[in-house]
Amino acid sequence: MINRVVLVGRLTRDVELRYTGSGDAVGSFTIAVERNFTNRAGEREADFISCVIWRKPAENFANFTGKGAMIAVEGRLQTRSYDNNQGQKVYVTEVVVDNFQLLETRAQSEARRSQNGSSAAPQQNQNNFKIPAQQSNPFDAQFNNQSQSSSANNDQSSASSPFDTDAGNNSVDISDDDLPF
């Protein structure tokens, strides 16, 4: 049987870190994942997915993330039930996180927090952040290059790109034989 879940989205609030009676850390959080399509009004909707993470990874996750952080989580889908105070049976479906990745640099995270205070918006535009010159993580470099290429005020590249339409009359001639479709 296969039960694997991979999600990429933003935290809707800070991680709620608690400890069990035996001293194990458990973190609860919700991740907002945008849908790939728009509704009839032309707006993107999001799914809000409950997640839980245990032990040392929970402590690390709570220490290095905050509301609005772009993250990727991997885990398994789990359902459980309990009786609430009114005696009703409540069913809960959540992702039990095995692994996570932070998908923004520390500079981007700090810029988002300082720009929005402690209540960062989940739909924050990544192109508003200044990208640091040194990159230690190859994924961060790839992510930042994508952000830089779409940024209007990218002052780091002085060389013109053959794909830049503002660079003059430099056009790229691509024949139909070069296209993969």
With a cut of 90, say whether residue 180 has pLDDT above it: no
At 91 the pLDDT is 93
**SS3 (DSSP) at 60:** helix
Alpha carbon distance 128, 152 (integer Å):
9
The label of the residue with tokens 């034989």 reads 177
For residue 129, which amino acid is it?
Answer: F
**SS3 (DSSP) at 148:** helix
Q: Is the pTM of this model over 0.95?
A: no
Characterize 120-152 residue by residue with b for buried, 16 or more Cβ atoms within 10 angstroms of its Cβ, and e for exposed.
bebebebeebebeeeeeeeebeebbeebbeebe
Burial group, residue 51, by CB count within 10 angstroms (0-12, 13-18, 19+)? buried
Compute φ and ψ for 36, nearest 5 degrees.
-80, 0
- The residues spanned by each domain of the chain are 1-103, 104-152
Biggest distance spanned by C-alpha atoms of the chain? 73
Domain 1-103 sits in CATH at 2.40.50.140
Q: Each residue of 33-69: pLDDT tens digit?
A: 999 888 888 888 899 999 999 999 999 999 888 888 8
**SS3 (DSSP) at 32:** strand
Q: Each residue of 99-116: pLDDT tens digit?
A: 999 998 878 877 877 776
The label of the residue with tokens 């990745």 reads 101
Q: Which of 83, 101, 99 is nearest to 91 (CA)?
A: 83
